[in-house]
Amino acid sequence: MLVVNNVRKVFDSTRGRYLALAGVSLDVRDGEFLCLLGPSGCGKSTLLNIMAGFEPVTSGAVVSDGQPVAGAGRDRVMAFQDAGSALFPWLTVEENLRFGLRVRKVPKAEWDGIIDKYLRMVDLDRHRDKFPSELSGGMRQRLQIARALAVEPKILLMDEPFGALDAMTRRRMHSFLLEIWEQTRKTIIFVTHDIAEAIVLADRVAMMSVGPGSVITELIDIDMSRPRNLSDPRFADLFKRIEDLLAPELARSEQH
């Protein structure tokens, strides 16, 4: 579905050049749930922005469904950590979805059916006339996900979308997102620095090193049925394995 081929990214600033990604390669399977995992500053969000087409590569290439990524596209949609900033506060729940459909030039005759479908899917159909400020943090994230899904992307890119939520809401959002994924089988690429979150959600975890010059150091298959129980000994064993692999990267991140 999406291929990252030897992607290198250099940022230029008044302080000089900074190598963020140093030859990242990754094949993302159609319909899989992939987590990008690593410490803060390891280039996870940079890589996700390149996949989204928001950021150009310095060298290498990203190919989505056979087509080179050279900018934002309808096949890829991003969901951000701060849903409050991503949503339009002056528009109602329904109007936020309607705006996305208008921008993506979805035929107007299809709008009502699409809006009803996705508001029901995220359990917000009873709140369609509310404004984002009247919703809880979890509800705002559900609305952001509904707006992303409404334009029928092939790939949903998620940049630490639950990072600002409290622990209980975050666990509920994990269950909600997995239910949505089971229903739609969209390809999801999810950025996190939380090991447990990655194990709960992912089919595979791609671990990233700390820069300058981040690369993918490990690709780990999560061979556990869902829902995954944190008290399962296999969960604890996998957590410890990933924690041990990340330990050198965390030590390096503290030095930068």
Region at 112 (left for phi over 0; alpha for psi -120 to 50; beta for the rest): alpha
233 and 188: one domain? yes
- Helix, strand, coil % in the chain, rounded to nearest 5: 40, 25, 35
Backbone phi and psi for residue 68, each to the nearest 5 degrees, phi listed first: -60, 140
50 and 22: one domain? yes
The pLDDT mean for the chain works out to 91
161 and 211: one domain? yes
Are 161 and 141 in contact by the 8 Å Cβ rule? The answer is yes
The residue range of the domain holding 194 is: 2-75+154-255
54 and 6: one domain? yes
Of 152, 179, 207, which residue is a domain's last? 152
Q: What is the pTM assigned to this prediction?
A: 0.92
Of 99, 128, 152, which residue is a domain's last? 152
Q: How far apart are CA 130 and CA 145, in angstroms?
A: 17
97 and 170: one domain? no
Examine residue 164 and state whether it is found in any structural domain, yes or no: yes
> Could you read off the pLDDT of 190-223 as tens digits, one per residue?
999 999 999 999 999 999 998 788 999 999 999 9
Q: How far apart are CA 4 and CA 80, in angstroms?
A: 21
166 and 235: one domain? yes
Q: Which of 141, 132, 129, 157 is nearest to 52 (CA)?
A: 157
SS3 27: strand
Q: How far apart are CA 25 and CA 60, in angstroms?
A: 9
Examine residue 251 and state whether it is found in any structural domain, yes or no: yes
Q: Which percentage of the chain shows pLDDT scores above 70?
A: 98
Q: How far apart are CA 108 and CA 114, in angstroms?
A: 10
148 and 159: one domain? no
158 and 228: one domain? yes
The end-to-end CA distance of the chain, in Å, is 34
220 and 163: one domain? yes
pLDDT of residue 256: 60
pLDDT band at 71 (very low <50, low <70, confident <90, very high): confident
pLDDT of residue 1: 83
Of 103, 118, 152, which residue is a domain's last? 152
> At 54, which CATH number?
3.40.50.300
Query: What is the layout of strands, in order, in the sheet containing 187-192?
Result: 76-79, 155-159, 187-192, 33-37, 204-208, 216-221
> Could you read off the pLDDT of 81-136 as tens digits, one per residue?
888 888 999 999 999 999 989 888 889 999 999 999 999 999 999 999 999 999 99
159 and 249: one domain? yes
92 and 102: one domain? yes
